[in-house]
Structure 1
């Protein structure tokens, strides 16, 4: 499976459909995490995700790009309380598993007053 396809399937199964049991299909056991609020390892991500999914996020993927073993996912994450986050997740893939993650998150974009007429997404 190609790296981009792997990450797209991961988002469909896990982030959009909330299937926690599918995480081991995609995430390596020795997963390296660069988000300081999430522990390293597959188990650390599962622990984080079980709490995250309780917030009932709605994920709208804007773009998925791939160069070599790096995959970039740009998406809108809307929560039931009206909070909207603009997120770019960056993954490194090796041997058909996600082995490393970085993210860039802009929180509460629903409060931003744009000085231009361009969409945030």
Structure 2
């Protein structure tokens, strides 16, 4: 297997891990997913959340009406990027770009950028956000 094939293989595995982890934790509210797909030290770069898995353990059970709808996914090396519509994280739907860093098949770091979801008709250029 060439280096390029190994990198593609790793990116594909990491993408599958992130999609499974997010579905199990947030859609199914299976807190044990943290033990399977995340690892400490978990470094959180979101300004609304502290580092460490205890933060997710505390937040997830209280999310009402949460849904995560990834529309675009890309991966490179140990990073997976998702561009999603999310309901239930904020009072109104939001668009989130999440960046996950994996180490040995486990999510160990996270960044996000969050914007209110605006209809295409309400944007200056008429283009949809996702």
- TM class by shorter-chain length? 0.7 to 0.9
Q: Structure 1: which 4+ aligned runs deviate by more than 6 Å?
A: none
The structural deviation recorded for 1:95 is: 0.9
Q: TM-score, normalised by structure 1?
A: 0.84
1:7 and 1:114, CA in 2 relative to 1: closer, same or farther beyond 3 A?
same
2:15 counterpart residue number = 4
1:34 counterpart residue number = 45
Q: TM-score, normalised by structure 2?
A: 0.79
Is there any run of 5+ residues in structure 1 with no aligned partner, and where?
none
| Cα contact 1:8–1:64 (8 A) shared by 2 | no
- 1:11-30, CA deviations, whole angstroms, 9 ceiling, x for partnerless residues? 22112222222122111121
1:93 counterpart residue number = 102
Q: How many residues align?
A: 118
| Cα contact 2:24–2:33 (8 A) shared by 1 | yes
Q: State yes or no: 1:56 paired with 2:56.
A: no
1:16-27 counterparts in 2 under 5 A?
16-27=27-38
> Which of structures 1 and 2 has the bigger CA Rg?
2
1:93 and 1:48, CA in 2 relative to 1: closer, same or farther beyond 3 A?
same
Taking only aligned residues, the RMSD between alpha carbons, in angstroms, comes to 2.3
Is there any run of 5+ residues in structure 2 with no aligned partner, and where?
1-9
Residue of structure 1 aligned with 2:115, choices 99, 106, 120? 106
